[in-house]
Amino acid sequence: MSTAEKYLKPEVVRQIARLDLRAQFIVKGFLQGLHASPFHGFSVEFSEHRKYSAGDDPKDIDWLVYAKTDKYYVKKFEAETNITGYLVMDLSRSMGYTYRQELTKFEYSICLAAALGYLMVHQQDPVGLLTFDEKIRNSLAPKAKRSHLGDLLSVLAKLEPQGKTDIAHSLNQVAAMMRHASLVMVFSDLLAEPEPILQALYRLRHGGHDVILFHILDEAEAHFPFDGMVELEDPESSERLALDAAAFRAEYLGELDSFRDLYRRECFQSGIDYVALDTSMQFDKALVEYLSARAGRG
């Protein structure tokens, strides 16, 4: 079994294929929205055009479109129609955790990244990869070739999430690297102080990038299914804490809600998409719901 196939195993491929069928027109709308396409309500062929304006070469007018609409449209150049995506993956030790799910947070992120990468390549939009813990560790330049998805998954499949993390510093590095407006998809459990991370996300957004923050928690972190006395370990410092689960549950879930609400509110105000997930959620369902909401807003 190749490393790519490890994350595109049959049930995952089935999920992606089903996602592709269910989300095909949603994804078109989603990516067209990101392209700022004015052609809502037109058929797909018009996504490659824009209105003729002064300064355009009359030779570029598409006369077939003129025949259909009585309006002048020119073909967009590839640079105008394609959006470049970056999958930005948190490699920190905490991402390697799972309590009772089949996939760790990192493996779940790889499956999601595979689905998004697949959809972007399907749209002929180039997609690249960046991984980080305390700083950027791996970088794969964006390409739109189908074989590129296998290369990307091969890199991800070889990685072990084990370092300490500095999410804010790493995202600031990402912002400094980006030369052109891109779609930046961040996958992290965000287990760090929120304020510096939010500042780094604002910097990305103000740099003209479209940002999607996939906040991925383990099912146990999201629902706290423990009973009796439990010993919890800080995933990065390895400090241990013994506590009574029943007494702590309400306080923990309240803190978690506040944590997610902070990100949801701040991201919404900055035009960043915040997607809260946990590893018990079927990622195709989560992604289709997200893409539907996104397309609806576009």
27 — pLDDT class (breaks 50, 70, 90): low
Q: Domain count of the chain? A: 2
Show the domain range for 12: 3-28+83-297
1 — pLDDT class (breaks 50, 70, 90): very low
105 shares a domain with 60: no
Query: Nearest 5°: phi and psi at 210?
Result: -90, 125
Q: DSSP string covering 100-115, please?
A: SSSS-HHHHHHHHHHH
- CATH at 293: 3.40.50.410
58 shares a domain with 18: no
Q: What does the pLDDT read at residue 213? A: 95
150 shares a domain with 71: no
41 — pLDDT class (breaks 50, 70, 90): very low
Q: What does the pLDDT read at residue 116? A: 84
pTM above 0.95, yes or no: no
156 shares a domain with 42: no
Cα–Cα nearest to 277, from 141, 31, 113: 113
66 shares a domain with 87: no
Bridge partners (DSSP) of residue 180 are: none
48 — pLDDT class (breaks 50, 70, 90): low
- Asked which of 11, 45, 79 is the last residue of a domain, the reply is 79
214 pLDDT higher than 90: yes
Average pLDDT, the chain: 81
17 — pLDDT class (breaks 50, 70, 90): low
110 shares a domain with 60: no
122 shares a domain with 59: no
pLDDT digits (tens, 9 = 90+) for 153-169: 888 888 889 989 999 99
Q: What is the DSSP letter of 163?
A: B
Neighbouring C-beta atoms of residue 83, cutoff 10 Å: 20
168 shares a domain with 41: no
293 shares a domain with 275: yes
226 shares a domain with 288: yes
Of the chain, the end-to-end C-alpha distance in Å amounts to 40
Bridge partners (DSSP) of residue 88 are: 130, 186
Q: What is the DSSP letter of 192?
A: S
100 shares a domain with 53: no
Q: What does the pLDDT read at residue 81? A: 57
Mean pLDDT lowest among 112-126, 167-181, 241-255: 112-126
142 shares a domain with 160: yes
142 — pLDDT class (breaks 50, 70, 90): very high
Instruction: Give the E-state strand segments of the chain in sequence order.
Output: 49-51, 73-75, 85-90, 127-132, 136-143, 183-188, 210-217, 229-233, 240-244, 273-278
Q: What does the pLDDT read at residue 155? A: 85
Bridge partners (DSSP) of residue 170 are: none
* Higher pLDDT pick, 58 / 142: 142
Q: Calculate what percentage of the chain has a pLDDT beyond 70.
A: 76
- 252 token code pair: 């923990």
Q: DSSP string covering 1-66, please?
A: --HHHHHS-HHHHHHHHHHHHHHHHHHHHHHHHHTT---TTS-GGGGGEEE--TTS-GGGB-HHHH
* Residue 162, H or E segment: none
46 — pLDDT class (breaks 50, 70, 90): very low
Compute the average pLDDT of residues 224-232. Answer: 89
